[in-house]
C-alpha cells in the first residue's frame, strides 16, 4: 500500500541566478530542481527541510508504511551541530522534546551496583529520541514535501539531463537528482554503487533495541549488565514511569537473515540471550511483545565515492556507524552541507556534489574513528575483560578523565568548517 502525502504549498519555480558566489550568494535558487530522496528517518527529512528552504521540489520515498518510531536517544554536541540545527529552525524544538539521561550503573547479576558512569560521559549537549527527531522534521516539512510511504525505488537510469526512476508500487517518474538516505543497508547504494559487501565493515557484534516496561522504576538513569560476549542495557531517558528502553548487544559471527522478517530477528536475539542472568527473563518477554524492534549489525559504511552522476549518498547510506559514531549528527550536518552546496552552485550538481564529497568525507571518518569499540566495550568476551572494563569505567568516571573523553567526542563532532550558505 502506498500512502502519498502531497505538499499543501507546492513551491513556485524560481529563476536561477547566473554566477552565485559565497560572497554574493544566490537567493532561494533551487526552484528548478526536482529531487527524489530515498529514506525518511533522519538524513532524508533533514535534507528535505534544507532543500525546501532553498526552493527545490522534493519527494521522499520511504519503504515503511508510515514514519518509523523507535530507536534509542541520539545526541548533539558542539558548535557545528548547534549552528546547523539553529539554521534549520529546530534547535529550540529539540530542546523542548529532549530527554535527560543521568547516571548509568554497571550491575552484577543480582542487580547490585559495580561502578557508576557519570551522565556527561554518555550524553552530548542535548539528547532526543531518534523517533521524536524524525517526527519533528517530518512535521516541519510535510506541507512542502511529497512523502510517499510504503514504496521503494525499483530502478534508476541516469542520462545527461536527469534520472528516470521506476518504483515498486508507484508510476515511473523523472527527477533531476536522487539522494540515497536509506540507511546502513542502502538500497540506492546497491543499485548505483554495487553490493553492500563491498562497503559494509562488520564489527563482530549485533545490537537489538526495543521498549520494555519500566519495572525497575528507573528515573532518567540506566543499568548495564555484561556477561562474556553479551550485554543488556535498560535505560529510562525521559522520566516516563511506565516505559524504559532496552538494548541488547551480543558478539557473533556474521549472520544471514531476512531484514524484513522481524519474527526471525526476535528468534535470533532470544536464542543468543537464552540463560542470560540479571533481568534476562523480563527482557526476553518484552522482546517477544515488542512492536518497535531495531536489530542490526554493529557495522560501519566505507565507500570510495559518495556521488555518481546525479546520485549522491547521505547519512548512514554513505558513512554510517552503528552506535557511538554520532551517525545522527553527521547525517544532519551532511544534509545541511549538501543542500547548501547545491545552492552555492546554483543547482549545478557536478560542482555541488564534488564539494559535498570533499567537505563531508573527512568529517564523517573522524566520527567513525571513535565508534569502533562499542561492541567489545559493552560485551567484553571474557569475565577477566569485563573486570578490566569496569576498572576502566571507574577511572573514566573521575572528573578530569570524563572531561577529556567529552572533549575527544566533541573534537570529532566539530571537525568540519561550515561555509556560509544562502539559507
Ligand atoms: C527505527 C530505527 C531505529 C534506530 N535505532 C537505533 C539505535 O537504537 N541505535 C543506533 O545506533 N542507531 C539506530 N538507528 C539508526 C540511526 O537512526 C542512524 O544511524 C542515524 O540517525 C542516521 O540516519 P539515516 O537517516 O542516515 O539512516 P536510518 O536512520 O537508518 O534511516 C534509513 C531510512 O531509510 C528507510 N529505507 C530503507 N530501505 C529503503 C528503501 N529501499 N526505500 C525507501 N526507504 C528505505 C528506512 O526504513 C529508514 O527509515 C535506528 C534507525 C531506525 C530507522
What letter does residue 90 receive in the DSSP assignment? -
Q: Which residue has the higher pLDDT, 322 or 168?
A: 168
| Cβ atoms 312, 338 nearer than 8 A | yes
Rounded Cα distance between 44 and 322, Å, is 17
For ligand 1, whether the C-beta of 67 sits within 6 Å is: no
- Pairing mode of beta strands 104-107, 222-227: parallel
Q: Residue 6 above 70 pLDDT?
A: no
Q: pLDDT band at 325, cuts 50/70/90?
A: low
Which atom of ligand 1 is found nearest the CA of 43?
Answer: 25
Q: Give the per-residue pLDDT at 26.
A: 47
Q: What average pLDDT does the chain have?
A: 90
Q: Ligand 1, from 3, 38, 41: best to mutate by most atoms within 8 Å of Cβ?
A: 41
The per-residue pLDDT for range 349-366, each reduced to its tens digit, is 999 999 999 999 999 999
In sequence order, what are the residues at sequence separation of 6 or more whose Cβ sits closer than 8 angstroms to the Cβ of residue 37? 44, 47, 48, 58, 59, 60, 61, 178, 179, 181, 314
Q: Is 209 in the pocket of ligand 1 (CB under 6 A)?
A: yes
Using alpha carbons, select from 19, 63, 28 the residue that is nearest to residue 259: 63
Task: Please tell me the residue having the least CA distance from ligand 1 atom 11.
Answer: 323
Nearest CA to ligand 1 atom 37: 182
263-300, pLDDT tens digit by residue? 999 999 999 999 999 999 999 999 999 998 999 999 99
Rounded Cα distance between 346 and 208, Å, is: 43
pLDDT at 102 over 90: no
pLDDT at 4 over 60: no
Question: So what's the pLDDT on residue 299?
Answer: 94
Dihedral sign for Cα atoms in the order 84, 88, 89, 94: negative
* φ, ψ dihedrals at 36, nearest 5°: -105, 130
Mean per-residue pLDDT for 222-250?
Answer: 95
128-143 average pLDDT score: 95
Q: Which tops the pLDDT comparison, 214 or 21?
A: 214
Q: Which pLDDT does position 7 carry in this prediction?
A: 54
Q: Which residue has its alpha carbon closest to ligand 1 atom 29?
A: 41
Q: Is 132 in the pocket of ligand 1 (CB under 6 A)?
A: no
pLDDT, tens digit, 9 for 90 and up, residues 326-346 = 899 999 999 999 999 999 999
Binding site membership of 216 for ligand 1 (Cβ less than 6 Å): no
- Of the pLDDT bands very low, low, confident and very high (cuts 50, 70, 90), residue 323 is confident
- What is the rounded CA–CA span in Å between residue 198 and residue 293? 27
Cβ of 45 below 6 Å from ligand 1: no
Cell numbers for 99: 530527554
Residue 369, φ and ψ in degrees, nearest 5: -55, -35
Instruction: Check if 71 has its Cβ closer than 6 Å to any atom of ligand 1.
Output: yes
* Contact call for residues 348 and 59 (beta carbons, < 8 A): no
182 lines ligand 1 (CB under 6 A): yes
User: pLDDT, tens digit, for every residue of 14-72?
Assistant: 334 444 455 555 457 899 999 999 999 999 999 999 999 999 999 999 999 999 987 78
In order of their start, the domains of the chain are 3-72+131-199+300-369 (3.50.50.60), 98-125+203-298+373-398 (3.30.9.30)
Confidence band for 410, pLDDT divided at 50, 70 and 90: confident
- pLDDT above 60: residue 5: no
The rounded Å distance from CA 41 to ligand 1 centre is: 5
Alpha carbon nearest to ligand 1 atom 23, residue: 42
d(CA 364, CA 316): 10
Residues 6+ away with beta carbon under 8 Å from 14:
27, 28, 29, 30, 31, 32, 55
Report the pLDDT value the prediction gives residue 394, as an integer from 0 to 100. 84
Of the candidates 378, 366, 376, the one whose C-alpha atom is nearest the C-alpha of residue 413 is 366
Say how far apart CA 99 and CA 337 lie, in whole Å. Answer: 27
Atom of ligand 1 nearest to the CA of 314: 26
More confident of the two residues 402 and 184? 184
How far apart are the C-alpha atoms of 45 and 119, rounded to whole Å?
29
Q: Which atom of ligand 1 is nearest to the CA of 184?
A: 30
Grid coordinates given for 44: 532524508
Amino acid at each position: 500500500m502506498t500512502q502519498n502525502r502531497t505538499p499543501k504549498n507546492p513551491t513556485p519555480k524560481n529563476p536561477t541566478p547566473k554566477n552565485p558566489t559565497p560572497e554574493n550568494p544566490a537567493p532561494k535558487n533551487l526552484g528548478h530542481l526536482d529531487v527524489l530522496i530515498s529514506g525518511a528517518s533522519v538524513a532524508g527529512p533533514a535534507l528535505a527541510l534544507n532543500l525546501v528552504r532553498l526552493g527545490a521540489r522534493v519527494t521522499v520515498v520511504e519503504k515503511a508504511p508510515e514514519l518509523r518510531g523507535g530507536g534509542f536517544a541520539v545526541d548533539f554536541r558542539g558548535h557545528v551541530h548547534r549552528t546547523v540545527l539553529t539554521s534549520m529552525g529546530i534547535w529550540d524544538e529539540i530542546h523542548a522534546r529532549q530527554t535527560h539521561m543521568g547516571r548509568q550503573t554497571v550491575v552484577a547479576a543480582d542487580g547490585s551496583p559495580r561502578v557508576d558512569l557519570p551522565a556527561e560521559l554518555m550524553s552530548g549537549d542535548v539528547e532526543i529520541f531518534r523517533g521524536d527527531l524524525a517526527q519533528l522534521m517530518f512535521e516541519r516539512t510535510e506541507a512542502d514535501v511529497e512523502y510517499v510511504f510504503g514504496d521503494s525505488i525499483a530502478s534508476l537510469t541516469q542520462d545527461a539531463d536527469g534520472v528516470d526512476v521506476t518504483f515498486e508500487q508507484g508510476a515511473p517518474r523523472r527527477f533531476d537528482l536522487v539522494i540515497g538516505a536509506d540507511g546502513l543497508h542502502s538500497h540506492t547504494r546497491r543499485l548505483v554503487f554495487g553490493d553492500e559487501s563491498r562497503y559494509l565493515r562488520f564489527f563482530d557484534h549485533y545490537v537489538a533495541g526495543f521498549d520494555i516496561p519500566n519495572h525497575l522504576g528507573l528515573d532518567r538513569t540506566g543499568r548495564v549488565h555484561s556477561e562474556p560476549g553479551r550485554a543488556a542495557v535498560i535505560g529510562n531517558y525521559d522520566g516516563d514511569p511506565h516505559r524504559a528502553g532496552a538494548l541488547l548487544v551480543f558478539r557473533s559471527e556474521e549472520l544471514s537473515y531476512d531484514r524484513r522478517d522481524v519474527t526471525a530477528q526476535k528468534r535470533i536475539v532470544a536464542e543468543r540471550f537464552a540463560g542470560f542472568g540479571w533481568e534476562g527473563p523480563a527482557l526476553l518477554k518484552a522482546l517477544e511483545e515488542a512492536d518497535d524492534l531495531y536489530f542490526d549489525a554493529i557495522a560501519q559504511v566505507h565507500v570510495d565515492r559518495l556521488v555518481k552522476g546525479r546520485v549522491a549518498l547521505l547519512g548512514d547510506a554513505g558513512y554510517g556507524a552503528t552506535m557511538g559514531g554520532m551517525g545522527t549528527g553527521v547525517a544532519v550536518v551532511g544534509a545541511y552541507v549538501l543542500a547548501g552546496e547545491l545552492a552555492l552552485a546554483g543547482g549545478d550538481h557536478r560542482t555541488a556534489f564534488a564539494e559535498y564529497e570533499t567537505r563531508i568525507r573527512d568529517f564523517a571518518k573522524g566520527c567513525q574513528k571513535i565508534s569502533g569499540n562499542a561492541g567489545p566495550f559493552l560485551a567484553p568476551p571474557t569475565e577477566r575483560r569485563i573486570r578490566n572494563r569496569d576498572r576502566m569505567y571507574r577511572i573514566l568516571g573521575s572528573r578530569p578523565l570524563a572531561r577529556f573523553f567529552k572533549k575527544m567526542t566533541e573534537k570529532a563532532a566539530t571537525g568540519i568548517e561550515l561555509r556560509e550558505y544562502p539559507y
